[in-house]
Amino acid sequence: IYYELGDYDKDIEYLNKTLEIELNTVATNHPDLDRTYHNLSTAFHEQNKLNEALKYMQMEKMFTTQSSTFY
């Protein structure tokens, strides 16, 4: 919702909390991680923070190449 409202700082804040929880609770190849990396990348891109956006895009890409099988 914060993304849709244009409140990217708040969106990133909650996405980082989500990421922290996911990294401690789900498998490293869980699709929720991919979605969170993607959403972080998009929010940083909207703020024109391209280095941060690229960082999460690379995490997303790394995830995609590693997660060909999810159980």
Kindly report the pTM of this predicted structure: 0.84
pLDDT tens string for the chain (71 positions)? 899 999 999 999 999 999 999 999 998 888 999 999 999 999 999 999 999 999 999 988 776 666 555 44
Enclosing domain of residue 26 = 3-68
Domain containing residue 32: CATH number: 1.25.40
pLDDT of residue 29: 84
pLDDT attached to residue 53: 96
The number of domains in the chain is 1
> Whose CA is closest to 56, among 33, 67, 40, 34?
40
